[in-house]
Structure 1
Amino acid sequence: MKKLVLLIAIAFLSYSDAFAQVEYKIITSVESIVPNGLGRSRIVSATEERNYKDYTSERSDDKEKDKRNKSDRSEIRVKNFEETKLLNFYNLGGIRFQNIAANDAVLSSKINTMIEEGWELAFVTSAVESEGGKGDGKGIFITRFIFKRNKQ
């Protein structure tokens, strides 16, 4: 009898996990790779939600079905967000490895806090936009940390 109760409990828990609603949260780090330390580096996290459907239109060759997106871009803007300062990769002396280590410590703290809050790191993706030639002087290293958890 005990085995049957245990088996039913395990089956119920497995069943409820299979249909759990999942939510995602994206945290973005932007680290400046502008020479001479002139850039800005931050961790950014929205504290407001947006529904992509409010800013999406469906385009078609059929003029009757074609619906142009007339939403105002300013409506998309999020005014409430967290912004955590990071250090730039470069200063006047060149690349600063201490700054990279400091940023790693701050990012680790953010990730650990998210995990303590019940989030699981699901994906990480990054990209670089580096200097495009003489006189460009622009560049960023961007990383998106995508977390997920069961909706509460």
Structure 2
Amino acid sequence: MKKTLITLLLIVLTAVELQAQQYEVKVVTSVESIVPNGLGRSRLISANAERDYKEFTTTQTEDDNSRNKSDRSDIRVKDFDETKLLNFYNLGGIRFQNIAANDALITSKINTMLAEGWDLAFVSSAVESDSGKDDGQGIFITRYIFKRLKQ
């Protein structure tokens, strides 16, 4: 009986591990400017290149302050899709037409990803907004995290 339970447990654990390895993930990021007067840049970004985070990760300990010897420029991705979006503001203030236009472009990207077999798994957003009369900086960023079975 114990052998049967252990065998079943190993089969289930193996199946779970195999299922987890069958997915790939893709992140699409929208960066929408909230800089007044339309001076900012807004884009929808989707990387085509892959990076292994382990190549750029170090473990810090109390005794060892070693740094990763790789150059930060090695992290940069130059192979990506960049879709222009409109800024939230122009000289007249907030532009709701621009928000609607951006929504249409982002919807198009999401629909294309869904048609390619991707599932929208998570959405995460954040804002760094204008913090006063002398700031004039800010972005609204949203990350769309897709997953699909590996092909």
Q: Shorter-normalised TM-score: what interval?
A: 0.7 to 0.9
Indicate the percent of aligned positions where both proteins have the same amino acid: 70
> Counterpart in 1 of 2:60?
59
SS in 1 for 2:146: strand
- Which residue identity does 2:91 align to in structure 1? L
Which runs of structure 1 show a deviation greater than 4 angstroms over 4 or more consecutive aligned residues?
Answer: none
> Counterpart in 1 of 2:39?
38
Unmatched runs of 5 consecutive residues or more in structure 2: 1-14
- Looking at structure 1, the residues matched to 86 and 57 of structure 2 have their Cα atoms a distance apart, in angstroms, of 36
> Counterpart in 1 of 2:29?
28
- Looking at structure 2, the residues matched to 23 and 67 of structure 1 have their Cα atoms a distance apart, in angstroms, of 32
TM-score by length of 1: 0.84
1:89-126 Cα distance to aligned partner (Å, 9 max, x none): 00000000000000000000000000000000000000
Q: How many residues in Structure 1 have an aligned counterpart in Structure 2? A: 135
- Looking at structure 2, the residues matched to 54 and 37 of structure 1 have their Cα atoms a distance apart, in angstroms, of 39
> Counterpart in 1 of 2:93?
94
TM-score by length of 2: 0.85
How big is the shift at 1:68?
Answer: 2.3
> Counterpart in 2 of 1:139?
138
SS in 1 for 2:87: coil
Unmatched runs of 5 consecutive residues or more in structure 1: 1-14
How big is the shift at 1:67?
Answer: 3.9
SS in 1 for 2:125: strand
- Which residue identity does 2:102 align to in structure 1? N
